[in-house]
Amino acid sequence: MAEHIAARGLGYRYRQGWVFRHLDFRLAAGELIAILGPNGCGKSTLLSVLSGSRPPIEGELARQGRIALVPQSLAPALPFTGLEMVLLGRAHAVSLFAAPGPADYAIAHTALAQLEAEHLAERSFDVMSGGERQLVLIARALASESPVLLLDEPTAALDWHHQAHVLALLRQLADTGLAVAFTTHAPQHALDFADRVLLMAAPDRQEFGVPEAVLGEDALSALYRLPVKRLQLPDASASTAIPVFRDYLHRKATPAP
């Protein structure tokens, strides 16, 4: 399998301190990898580094093939329609003094269709809801026809139906040969869809492996500093991770010794 991203001992810091260190990561064609971690642990930064926007401060990073990154949010300064935003995905294929042609427009429409978002083509991007914007941005990444897709919290503003739809689409894309990685706050996504998961447990410690193995109760509870239970549903195929918020409530009421 072609390895599109290979990172070893990756480290990045801001002035305040290291965001992550000693990070190993590999993404190959046909793989769907989920990246989990608490807020502020550097998931977005990691994607930034992996995509080549920022050079790593430590470690080695090898990339192969064009990488499309779907950012968490976007606030363009000038108005775009949904279609125009998706069309931007074709920018790499358009020469400097040219503009997208009919083929590019067709690809853009197809991408939107893949996301059940055709109706957003003529709508203005800045009046779309957060979820609609995410769909458009994912479509944009698809339109770029890149072999590697990195998505930053692609399901954050989506309802469950659309979460399922997007993740299923990502799975499907991975199955057709793309290399896909996405960040998420939901361990369930990793358990149900991903081949591997990267758990950013601490700034200098990560776990990387198969979801079932990595996402144990202890690991998750430590990660989110909240009791998390792993349950096997009667239907043997589904394995769940459930946050017990109520316990957290009790813990807050009676301070720990």
Q: Are 49 and 60 in contact (CB under 8 A)?
A: no
33 contacts 198 by C-beta, under 8 angstroms:
yes
Is 92 a residue that touches other proteins (CB under 8 A)? yes
> 189, 178, 106: which is closest to 149 by C-alpha?
178
Should residue 153 be labelled a site residue for other proteins when binding is judged by CB under 8 A? no
CB 213 within 8 A of CB 190: no
| Residue with Cβ nearer other proteins (149 or 214) | 149
Report the residue number, 90 or 189, with the smaller CB distance to other proteins. Answer: 90
* Distance in Å, CB of 119 to other proteins, minimum: 5
Q: What interhelical angle do 130-143 and 102-114 show, nearest 10?
A: 130
Q: Which long-range contacts (CB under 8 A, 24 or more apart) does 231-235 make?
A: none
Nearer to other proteins, 98 or 249 (CB): 98
163 binds other proteins (CB under 8 A): no
Which one of 6, 94, 164, 202 is in contact with other proteins (CB under 8 A)? Answer: 94
- Judged by beta carbon, residue 60 or residue 122, the one nearer other proteins is 122
Q: Which of residues 57-86 bind other proteins (CB under 8 A)?
A: 66-69, 71, 74, 76-81, 84-85
Give the C-alpha separation, 9 to 22, whole Å.
Answer: 4
Among residues 62, 113, 126, 209, which is the contact residue for other proteins, using CB under 8 A? 126
Distance CA 187, CA 191 (A): 6
68 vs 223 by CB, closer to other proteins: 68
Q: How do strand 67-70 and strand 58-63 relate by DSSP bridges?
A: unpaired
> Binding to other proteins by residue 132, rule CB under 8 A?
yes
Question: Which of 1, 39, 40, 127 touches other proteins (CB under 8 A)?
Answer: 127
CA-to-CA dists, residue 178 to 20, 66, 167, 236, angstroms: 26, 11, 14, 29
Q: How far is the CB of 193 from other proteins (least distance, A)?
A: 22
Told to check if 165 binds other proteins by CB under 8 A, we report: no
Q: Quote the CA–CA distance of 254 and 234 in Å, as a whole number.
A: 34
Q: Is the CB of 96 or the CB of 236 nearer to other proteins?
A: 96
Q: Least Å distance between CB 97 and other proteins?
A: 4
Measure Cα distances from 181 to 26, 49, 148, 167, 175 in Å. Answer: 10, 13, 8, 11, 13
Which of 150, 200 has the CB closer to other proteins?
150
Residues that bind other proteins (CB under 8 A): 51-53, 66-69, 71, 74, 76-81, 84-85, 88-89, 91-94, 96-100, 119, 122-124, 126-127, 129, 131-132, 140, 144, 159, 162
